[in-house]
Amino acid sequence: MSRNLSRVFSVAVVAFVGCANSGYAVRSVPRIAAETVGKPVSRLQEAFGDPRKVDTMPNRQIYVWFLPASPPGAPAGLHGCEMEVTVEPRSQQVLGYSMTSIGWSKCGEVARRIRIT
């Protein structure tokens, strides 16, 4: 029993050290969006690149990203996740977000590698 426990502990330490030094993590798109609420929209731009479009209104901006995905077994076509993010124009802080699955993709399964600080 203690031999198995020590093996599990060793693997966990190696995995932690490997992740700690990398500076990058793979996270689901909804988690990335949720972590940026109240923070500058530039974090999302760093993670996903320039938005597909930005709609400007007097009291808010809507940033739209399309994140393509290739679900296993999906037929040829457009698959991915569309993310709309509401931003306060003066502070450029994220107020909220919504996601729409397109094609066979599920937004919760779409992941991206992002830089963590």
Percent of the residues in the chain that have a pLDDT greater than 90, as a whole number: 50
pLDDT category at 22 given cuts 50, 70, 90 is low
Residue 85 φ then ψ, to 5° = -120, 130
The pLDDT of 20-31, averaged and rounded, is 76
Q: Is the pLDDT of residue 29 over 60?
A: yes
CA–CA separation, 63 and 92 (whole Å): 11
Q: For residue 34, which amino acid is it? A: A
Residue 12 pLDDT > 50: no
β strands within the chain, DSSP E: 24-28, 53-56, 61-68, 80-87, 94-102, 111-115
Alpha-carbon gap, residue 104 to 74, rounded angstroms: 6
What is the rounded average pLDDT of the residues 62-66?
A: 96
